[in-house]
Amino acid sequence: MVQNYVRTKMSPDMAPPATETGIIGWVMKNLLSSWLSVVLTVFGAYVIYLIVPGVVEFAIVNAIWVGKDGLDCRSIADGGRVQDGQAIGACWPYVQAYFSQFIYGRYPLEERWRVDIAMFVGVVSLIPLLIPTIPYKRENAIFLLGVYPFLVTILLTGGNIGIGNGAWGFLAILMVLGVGFVVFQAKTTQSIQISSGLKIVAAIGVAIAIVYLALGFDYGMLDVETPLWGGLLVTLVVAITGIVASFPIGIILALGRRSEMPVARLVSVIFIEFWRGVPLITVLFMSSVMLPLFLPEGVQFDKLLRVLIGVTLFSAAYMAETVRGGLQAISRGQYEGAMALGLSFWQMMGLIILPQALKLVIPGIVNAFIGLFKDTTLVLIVGLFDLLGQVQASFTDPVWSSPATSHTGYLFAAMVFWVFCFGMSRYSIFMENLLHRGHKR
């Protein structure tokens, strides 16, 4: 027998039970949901208890905040000025005294405004680019990628870079090749018009010539050689150049490796496998020690520039594989849909495939960026002083020698690196959520 049932009164909304909401609900769900999680919670609390109080004590409670030299961070029994028996924490006056060296390295004091301007302009033009709601993205990006690098080069080196006949010769050869290519293409495939092609070639030529002239112009600024650069300045120059330059190269390599053209594929595979097969330290060593042996005598190649090229090519290989992973996740149907509409190869890649593929691998890309940022510390082995190298170099200073000096220095370096890496990480998560809307149901 089935009994007929008719609801006569609608049941009202009620508040959920206390175990589901509020602090208690959160604790029950996240910390104490099963025996295993109770054990893990207790264990986690114990680990926090072990680490956090010690760090807080060292960095804040027992820290020395003012002082004029290392003796202020040393006990009387040890020859210093701190009362015996008093616990000694971090020696912050040392960081304060060395702060500018950690930032600029041995960059001449009276020229540091140039670094300040470079950093300031960089930050001011980068922030609006990172915030999605601010307009003029294209103009901003053109400035940041097309003008800013040269501005920074001129500011930091002082300009007046000798543009030799070789460079002008290179430009001339480039122009001849460009014109030849345009004429050849126009004659054989009619895919471009000679006049418009030549205009593009001429524009590129003029742009390169302007860059040459700008870099070579004598601005009357002191010439600051790159061995004088150091600290955070070197870290940022190496990391940002590596990140910005390796990204497009990596995309090209990823496309090349998936190309149906045998030569493009072979070249990409060889390039990627070569750079992935050698450690970064080897690359740096080769670029700074071995490369000069192969160059003709008298040809000088700035050490920092060599490191920049090495780091860029190295991380481009990793970037390529990350991007390739994203490309592989895009279904055949997307390619076919784009092709059937008549889009050209580059339109298809630029408008349909890459936007989706890159979105998918944002975590991987940012992972590579963060790894690269931290790998910049390796430049120390070729004699460039990045932030960590500069901190370590300061340990030998007898004026600030104290038992806490090196701990404090490492803590400071760790904090700076963490801030940058954490910032990148958070921004990537923000971007992921923002771009996710296209796929949400």
Partner 1 sequence: MAEAPKKSSSKKTSTKKSATKKSNGSAARAAEPAETQVKMTVSDEVAIEITDMHKWYGDFHVLKDISLKVNKGERIVICGPSGSGKSTLIRCINRLEEHQKGKILVENIELTNDLKKIDEIRREVGMVFQHFNLFPHLSILENCTLAPIWVRKMPKKEAEEIAMHFLERVRIPEQALKYPGQLSGGQQQRVAIARSLCMNPKIMLFDEPTSALDPEMIKEVLDVMITLAHEGMTMLCVTHEMGFAREVANSVIFMDEGQIIEQNEPEGFFNNPQSDRTKLFLSQILH
Size of the site for partner 1 (CB under 8 A): 26
Q: Whole-angstrom Cα distance, residue 18 to residue 21?
A: 6
* Nearest distance, CB of residue 132 and partner 1, angstroms: 15
3-class secondary-structure state, position 87: coil
Structure-token pair, residue 359? 């979105």
Structure-token pair, residue 416? 């700076």
Report the residue number, 9 or 332, with the smaller CB distance to partner 1: 332
* Nearest distance, CB of residue 190 and partner 1, angstroms: 7
Report the residue number, 355 or 403, with the smaller CB distance to partner 1: 355
Structure-token pair, residue 155? 């500011």
Asked if 25 touches partner 1 (CB under 8 A), the answer is no
Asked if 132 touches partner 1 (CB under 8 A), the answer is no
Report the residue number, 261 or 419, with the smaller CB distance to partner 1: 261
Window 164-223: residues binding partner 1 (CB under 8 A): 189-191
* Nearest distance, CB of residue 141 and partner 1, angstroms: 19
Judged by CB under 8 A, the residue of 31, 244, 249, 343 near partner 1 is 343
Asked if 339 touches partner 1 (CB under 8 A), the answer is yes
**What angle do helix axes 112-130 and 148-157 make, rounded to 10 degrees?**
160
Strand partners, 75: 82
Asked if 334 touches partner 1 (CB under 8 A), the answer is yes
DSSP string of 363-393, one letter each residue? HHHHHHHHHHHHHGGGGGGGT-EEHHHHHHH
Asked if 425 touches partner 1 (CB under 8 A), the answer is no
Asked if 262 touches partner 1 (CB under 8 A), the answer is no
Asked if 355 touches partner 1 (CB under 8 A), the answer is yes
Structure-token pair, residue 410? 């490492």
Judged by CB under 8 A, the residue of 333, 396, 398, 433 near partner 1 is 333
Judged by CB under 8 A, the residue of 356, 401, 406, 425 near partner 1 is 356
Asked if 337 touches partner 1 (CB under 8 A), the answer is yes
* Nearest distance, CB of residue 214 and partner 1, angstroms: 34
Q: Whole-angstrom Cα distance, residue 441 to residue 437?
A: 8
Asked if 342 touches partner 1 (CB under 8 A), the answer is yes
| Sign of torsion over alpha carbons 86, 87, 90, 91 | positive
Judged by CB under 8 A, the residue of 181, 347, 399, 422 near partner 1 is 347
Asked if 87 touches partner 1 (CB under 8 A), the answer is no
Alpha-carbon distance values, 130 to 13, 242, 374, 439 (Å): 43, 19, 22, 22
Asked if 264 touches partner 1 (CB under 8 A), the answer is no
Asked if 259 touches partner 1 (CB under 8 A), the answer is no
Rounded to a whole number, what is the distance in angstroms from the first to the last CA of the chain?
43
Asked if 419 touches partner 1 (CB under 8 A), the answer is no
Alpha-carbon distance values, 281 to 58, 236, 302 (Å): 34, 19, 18
Taking the CA atoms of residue 105, residue 118, residue 153 and residue 199 in that order, the dihedral angle to the nearest 10 degrees is 160
Asked if 138 touches partner 1 (CB under 8 A), the answer is no
Window 359-398: residues binding partner 1 (CB under 8 A): 359
Judged by CB under 8 A, the residue of 30, 199, 344, 427 near partner 1 is 344
3-class secondary-structure state, position 196: helix
Q: For the chain, how long is the longest CA-to-CA vector?
A: 104
* Nearest distance, CB of residue 110 and partner 1, angstroms: 51
Judged by CB under 8 A, the residue of 336, 371, 395, 423 near partner 1 is 336
Residue 108: which of 215, 225, 218 has the closest Cα? 225
**Helix-then-strand count for the chain, H and E:** 19, 2
3-class secondary-structure state, position 82: strand
Asked if 340 touches partner 1 (CB under 8 A), the answer is yes
Window 45-64: residues binding partner 1 (CB under 8 A): none
Residue owning tokens 């304060």: 96
Binding site for partner 1 (CB under 8 A): 189-191, 333-334, 336-344, 347, 351-352, 355-356, 359, 435, 437-441
